Structure 1
Amino acid sequence: MNLLRVTATLLLFIASFAIYAQNCAYGCPTGASGQFIERPIYTLQNNANTKFADWVAYRVTSQTIDGPSRNRNWRQDPIIHASQTLIPSDYNGAHATLGTDRGHQVPLASFSNTEHWATTNYLSNVTPQAANLNQGPWARLENAVRVLARTGQDVYVVTGPLYEWHFGTLPGTSKQHTIPSGYFKAIVTDNNGWVEMSAFIMEQSLARNADYCSYEVTGFNVEYRTGLNIMPNLPGYKVGPIFGQTGGLTKELGC
């Protein structure tokens, strides 16, 4: 019986590690301290004070995209205590008052062809994102990631919020929360050890017709502004040109 328990524990550990490695190819970000959640299509770290994830990591492939049309059934994350996250009614009046959408950090469209697509609608993966940003340059960047994935490449992404200025508060909730002032997205491909990366930061105030290509930054800039180590095990991390320069995937992302 003890041997069976040990075997079962080992198999569970191996399965958990596989999920971790799949979503965080170069190590999950460090520097945050909230609840760590691993799921088959993404890994995140929830912030009980802001009520939003400090970062989310995921991998987009040609197999995860281009599924059937999926709905947006917003739900409280079932494994986060209600005091540390939001519920659907907390967003009541947000669009009318703030001009925000419920913006996915992990895009539903990037996982519409998986059985786990509905987990992207958990509110731990959602923030109040300005509609012009969500439906404009941010959406176009997310689509560019899917276009790249259609070439057969696995595309690794780490994304999350910034809190650099006051955007507003949700009118439908009395819970303490902090709405992001902007967002970062770091995008990486690895072709047999040849690693390329581009990173972007966009403010909530961006116009709908803004060109996402104009907001490319270095990985160092993302880390400086977020306080995170976003890919701590990336080859050549902080010594080679990957993190210190822009343009790694500029062409591949349509810029």
Structure 2
Amino acid sequence: MRTTIMMLGLTWLLTAGAAAADDAEIHTFHCLHGCPMGTPATNDLVVREIYTLSSNDRTKFADWVAYRVTASTVGASESRRWRADPWLADDETLEPNDYDDAPRALSIDRGHQAPLAALSGTPYAEDTNLLSNITPQRAALNQASWQHLEAQERNLATRATDPEVLYVLTGPLYERVLQPLPMPRGAERHRVPSGYWKVIATEDGRMSAFIFPQETLRSANYCDMRVSLEEVELRTNLTIFPRLAERTFASLDLALGCPPL
């Protein structure tokens, strides 16, 4: 596991053990109760000011992305200037032109994992447009229920009374083989996700978890995508909160605009 870290005010500790990724204990302020464990040993850990992610060399996408949403991080969405991640080797990530024919051929968007609007209040918003933070996401999902849940994150963080600090973990699922992007000849092999998961938590012990199939309809309600934390862990093979001894959470559903299950 290679680790690339931007310091600039970021407190971190990395204690390396043997070759497996799980032998490293990672602390960043993006991860509540520790960053997810269970990724391949060949993954690259990238720690930036506004997010931390674990980039998978085989799929070419992040297995998980962690970010924190506060009143000060939220801002108006800025322009999108797509760039390959300069901290990853050419064969570890996609290039901007790899997505050129995807919208027309597959109705695919460049889907942010750490969202631009939630982090546009920082000087580092352009880092959300690096392709290590992007995955091929169907337009009907990216532009509707996924975006609506992101809006709820911003609403909670910026509300006038009792704004929340939200810790968000998100990433892809690979439960079925989907058609790859229609990329230029000689481009990197990759794997298009079959779905996405998201876990939103607060320091006071509330949490909600979601799984979205890639084929989610534009009319779908994000509240209908709620699942248990255990289901997320079973389907991702990740331990989501590895430093949490007592895994008892209250629900964050009502605060996110969802009725009780």
1:15 Cα offset (Å): 4.2
Distance in structure 1 (CA, Å) of the matches to 2:207 and 2:138: 26
Q: Deviations over 1:106-160 (max 9, x none)?
A: 0000001100000000000000100000001100011111111113210000000
1:223 aligns with 2:233: yes
Give the counterpart of 2:252 among 242, 249, 252: 249
Name the SS for the 1:252 alignment partner.
helix
1:170 aligns with 2:165: no
- Higher relative helix content: 1
Q: Aligned runs of 1:15-34 on 2, under 5 Å?
A: 15-17=10-12, 20-33=27-40, 34=43
Give the counterpart of 2:144 among 136, 145, 152: 136
Are the counterparts in 2 of residues 20 and 43 from structure 1 also a CA contact under 8 Å?
A: no
Give the alignment's TM-score, normalised by structure 2: 0.85
Distance in structure 2 (CA, Å) of the matches to 1:120 and 1:47: 17
Aligned residue in 1 for 2:61: 52
Residue 206 of structure 2 aligns with an amino acid whose one-letter code is E
Aligned residue in 2 for 1:116: 124
Distance in structure 2 (CA, Å) of the matches to 1:182 and 1:216: 13
Name the SS for the 2:256 alignment partner.
coil
Distance in structure 2 (CA, Å) of the matches to 1:21 and 1:47: 19
1:202 aligns with 2:197: no
1:77 Cα offset (Å): 0.2
1:43 aligns with 2:52: yes
Residue 115 of structure 1 aligns with an amino acid whose one-letter code is P
Are the counterparts in 2 of residues 20 and 38 from structure 1 also a CA contact under 8 Å?
A: no
Q: Deviations over 1:16-68 (max 9, x none)?
A: 41894311121011000200010011000000100000000010001100x24
Distance in structure 2 (CA, Å) of the matches to 1:234 and 1:62: 26
Are the counterparts in 2 of residues 43 and 57 from structure 1 also a CA contact under 8 Å?
A: yes
| Percent identity of paired positions between Structure 1 and Structure 2 | 46
Name the SS for the 1:200 alignment partner.
strand
Q: 1:129/1:30 Cα in 2 relative to 1: closer, same or farther (>3 Å)?
A: same
Give the counterpart of 1:95 among 103, 106, 116: 103
Residue 257 of structure 2 aligns with an amino acid whose one-letter code is G
Aligned residue in 1 for 2:193: 180
Which 5+ residue runs of structure 1 have no aligned equivalent? 1-11
1:175 Cα offset (Å): 1.7
Which 5+ residue runs of structure 2 have no aligned equivalent? 1-6, 14-25
- Number of aligned positions between the proteins: 233
Residue 30 of structure 1 aligns with an amino acid whose one-letter code is M
Are the counterparts in 2 of residues 45 and 53 from structure 1 also a CA contact under 8 Å?
A: yes
1:229 Cα offset (Å): 0.7
Name the SS for the 1:23 alignment partner.
coil
Distance in structure 2 (CA, Å) of the matches to 1:30 and 1:69: 31
1:13 Cα offset (Å): 11
Distance in structure 2 (CA, Å) of the matches to 1:62 and 1:235: 29
Aligned residue in 1 for 2:19: none
Aligned residue in 2 for 1:71: 79
Aligned residue in 2 for 1:3: none
Greater Rg by CA: 1
